[in-house]
Structure 1
Amino acid sequence: MTQTAGFSRAAPSRAQRTPGTRAPAQRARSARELGSRLGQWNSVVTSYYVLTGATTILVVLGLVMVLSSSSVESLADGKSAYAEFAKQARFALLGLPVLWLASRLPVPFYKKVAWPVLGAAAVLQLLVFTPLGMEAGGNRGWLAIGSIVIQPAEAAKVALALWLGVVLARKQPLLHEWKHAIIPVFPVAGAIVGLVLLGKDLGTALVFILLVAGAMYIGGVPMRIFGVAGALAAVVVAFLSTTSNRTAKISCWLSNTCDPTDGGYQTLHGTWGLATGGWWGLGLGQSREKWSYLPEAHNDFIFAIIGEELGLVGTLLVLVLFALLALAMSRVIRRHPDPFVKITTAGIAFWLIGQALLNIAVVIGLAPVIGVPLPLVSAGGSALIMSMAAIGIVISFARSEPGATEALAARPGVVRRSLAVIGRARPPAGAGTRPGTVRPGSSRR
């Protein structure tokens, strides 16, 4: 205590002796707390877990919605109400080991197999025009081998993404020259897209164009070349859209007087389904449009059934999950040092996210009906398995991000964590008896 003019006061505290030092300390502490909260998101394994989690939720949601949207039509066709669901569940079970294996294969493996895989995919696409080929919905794009029906274009998407990664990464220092930016990308990719267009599948061809555009953009192709390529692609798509069937769809989409019983029927009922759902939806299984009103309710227009049964909340959930996939893939592109990984991931991202946005745009009326399914959600075996394989490849890339391999190896597995918890929960020998009590058969001295 100090005496001053008859008054006594305590010695000044440290904060009082050094005014202004407390606020910076608090700010530093707040910054550390914020950093710790963001630490998990900035973790080297964030891409791995976001990809795995979002994919799992989308596949499960897809199975539930395929069951709900297909049960009525299955019964009307004399089948079990679970027919389409059982088929889709089998495809999902086949896709799981494919995804797991793809996520465990090393990056050099994908570089080695890129050319052979693309060649095999091209051969399968050519077989579509043989007696093995099969037509559905006006498009010839399926192979029927016994009871197995596959769509080779889905495998070609994966193959083309890997091939573009190898070629563009190798030629990256030369891509500012026209001949290196165009050859061999344009001839090879153009041949694959041309085979798809020969089967009259314009929607799938548009997805291929998105894939190639994403790979070229991240690969570093100059914007002048990129712009010319985009203009040529737009001219080709416009020319191919001049067939009578596609012209009618586009005219109906652009017209306010489209016949609601003909060209505008599917879009109209998809919009009605979304509008009926409101904020919270009618409830799972309570859709009205699936009662033979909305064509392809379990496939191309499954997003409308999600909106009808789960409401705006359900549709926003789907959008958030695809946004998480896009964010995780962009993290891989930013963080991985290998150009092959960056370019391949970009191609897969533009394929999956672009196709999802295209499907949703069709359902809500922002684009004409072109027959593109919602990845991981819509019914379809080849599309589901190949989409899971593509995400497995990106997960493999995420596992090889700088520091990710070591971080994942240092984390105990699920089984080991479970056994550790059980071991900690087990009472030690002699526990459970109060001090001073005597167990039966024991003597006290």
Structure 2
Amino acid sequence: MASPSIERPGRGATARPPRGSSRQTLRASWASHWDSPVTSYYLLVGAASLLLVLGLVMVLSSSSVDSLAAGDSPYKVFLNQAQFALMGLPLMILATRIRPAGYRRIAWPALAAAVFLQLLIFTPLAVGTKGNVNWISLGPGLTIQPSEFSKIALAVWLGVVLARKQDLLHDWKHVAIPAGPAVALVVGLVMVGKDLGTALIFILLVAGALFVAGVPLRIYSAIGAGTLVLVAIAASTGNRSNRISALLGGEVADPAGVGYQAKRGLEALGSGGFAGVGLGASREKWSYLPEAHNDFIFAVIGEELGLLGTLLVLLLFAILGIGMVRVIRRHPAPMVKITTAAIGCWIIGQGLINIGVVIGLLPVIGVPLPLVSAGGSALIATMLALGIVISFARDEPGAREALAARPSVVRRSIAVVSGATWRRGGRPQNSDDG
């Protein structure tokens, strides 16, 4: 009798892996990538890059009609925004190369320079718009908003000061000095310029720094209560109170008056549906929606790209937030943790406030969507701040070694081109043929 044939692994039949092993391998692969020391770096770089590109595209789409109506080129606002992005890119790259010790050394000079620039709003260089005096003119066609750069300086300075006094922060005196006067000076100058929206962002920034620094809840609550009182007093006057009443459905909720912009923004979002009306096909940008390329660009995104586009924006901001949280949790230096928290609360908080305004959850307070809305000072300052956080991500334990061990883009490109040439008929250099 012939014996039955036995199929061996590697001969004829392939050995079947144990059930569930592929899933376990996949989980292990994801876990290894997530625990990599360079994960924070790639999350931050990837999300920031995509938001920047999306912002440039949407600025072009949302501003072209108004530019034509003003007798300008349809690319005017887009080219200005692209110019600011190109100006911010080398600054961002430079910021990624500075080590935390470098930021410790420049913290005090940076804060002094920021206060000096902010004081220029009391000089003839000041430029006001829509009731706010928070810009200065440095020459023909060059206007900057000093408060945007004050955010960076204050975030780094708080990181340095609070980290040095971290063991003493249980005493309110060490929280108040010197952080209290510096914060009061910077925020006070912004509020004197009547820019309440930017002042709120500063408060978020300071709150994030104090929270991660470990300030006790009782002190934190007292500071928060005092801040809310000041904000309520500032918001109870003039046009701001009308905007709040419009949000709550008061007598001034006139769809042709103070509530007009919010109404048009909601109509833009509602008309977009699931997939949008198509890139460039917005109807509201035809001079119906004020500030379509700036504070209300999220409404144009919702109209042209639909729910999918708005969810993409939220996802990218969530990835930015996750990357910053990873830096806070993984980096050993308290200064890095506190500064990252301050920048994170600024950028993510400002994004959420902008979106909350557009969808009708908050009154119109005039803050741009970071990296997406048109605006030179805001874009450059945000890119510079993200460069600082990316620098911290590069400084996580093991991150620099892992990045240095990976082949450069140039070497990988040469390898790909060489492989393609060989497949088209070329021969490797060390071939034994002929």
Q: Verify same fold: TM over 0.5.
A: yes
Structure 1 residue 218 corresponds to structure 2 residue 212: yes
Q: Letter of the 1:192 partner, please give it.
A: V
Structure 1 residue 176 corresponds to structure 2 residue 170: yes
Q: Does the residue aligned with 1:392 lie in a helix, a strand or coil?
A: helix
Q: Which moved more, 1:132-141 or 1:414-423?
A: 414-423
- Cross-structure match for 2:14: none
* Pairs within 5 Å for 1:28-427: 30-147=23-140, 148-255=142-249, 258-427=253-422
Aligned partners of 2:123, 2:163: CA distance in 1, in Å?
35
Change in Cα spacing, 1:157 to 1:379, as seen in structure 2 (3 Å) is same
Change in Cα spacing, 1:78 to 1:216, as seen in structure 2 (3 Å) is same
Aligned partners of 1:427, 1:182: CA distance in 2, in Å?
68
Aligned partners of 1:32, 1:277: CA distance in 2, in Å?
41
Q: Does the residue aligned with 2:71 lie in a helix, a strand or coil?
A: coil
Q: Does the residue aligned with 2:370 lie in a helix, a strand or coil?
A: coil
Quote the offset at 1:26 in angstroms: 5.9
Aligned partners of 1:191, 1:425: CA distance in 2, in Å?
61
Aligned partners of 2:424, 2:315: CA distance in 1, in Å?
50
- Cross-structure match for 2:10: none
Quote the offset at 1:106 in angstroms: 1.1
Quote the offset at 1:423 in angstroms: 2.8
Quote the offset at 1:375 in angstroms: 0.3
Quote the offset at 1:416 in angstroms: 0.7
Q: Letter of the 1:45 partner, please give it.
A: V
What's the TM-score once normalised by structure 2's chain length?
A: 0.92
C-alpha RMSD of the superposition: 2.0
Quote the offset at 1:33 in angstroms: 3.7
Q: Letter of the 2:145 partner, please give it.
A: Q
Q: Letter of the 2:137 partner, please give it.
A: A
Aligned partners of 1:28, 1:429: CA distance in 2, in Å?
38
- Cross-structure match for 1:11: none
Aligned partners of 1:406, 1:192: CA distance in 2, in Å?
39
Q: Letter of the 1:89 partner, please give it.
A: A
Quote the offset at 1:428 in angstroms: 9.7
Deviations 1:287-339 (Å, cap 9, x if unpaired)? 11111111100000000000000000000000000000000000000000000
Aligned partners of 1:126, 1:428: CA distance in 2, in Å?
65
Structure 2's unaligned 5+ residue stretches are 1-16, 428-433
Q: Which moved more, 1:344-353 or 1:42-51?
A: 42-51
Change in Cα spacing, 1:430 to 1:301, as seen in structure 2 (3 Å) is closer
Q: Letter of the 2:114 partner, please give it.
A: A
Quote the offset at 1:153 in angstroms: 0.3
Aligned partners of 2:423, 2:388: CA distance in 1, in Å?
46
Quote the offset at 1:32 in angstroms: 4.4
Deviations 1:357-385 (Å, cap 9, x if unpaired)? 00000001000000000000000000000
Q: Does the residue aligned with 1:281 lie in a helix, a strand or coil?
A: coil
Q: Which moved more, 1:186-195 or 1:423-432?
A: 423-432
Q: Which runs of 4+ in 1 moved over 4 A?
A: 25-30, 428-432
Aligned partners of 2:426, 2:180: CA distance in 1, in Å?
74
Structure 1's unaligned 5+ residue stretches are 1-22, 433-438, 440-445
Q: Letter of the 2:65 partner, please give it.
A: V
Quote the offset at 1:181 in angstroms: 1.5
Q: Which moved more, 1:161-170 or 1:239-248?
A: 239-248
Quote the offset at 1:136 in angstroms: 0.9
Aligned partners of 1:33, 1:62: CA distance in 2, in Å?
34
Aligned partners of 1:191, 1:334: CA distance in 2, in Å?
31
Q: Aligned residues, how many?
A: 412
Aligned residues with identical type, % of pairs: 61
Aligned partners of 1:428, 1:54: CA distance in 2, in Å?
35
**Larger Rg: 1 or 2?**
1
Aligned partners of 1:30, 1:136: CA distance in 2, in Å?
58
What's the TM-score once normalised by structure 1's chain length?
A: 0.90
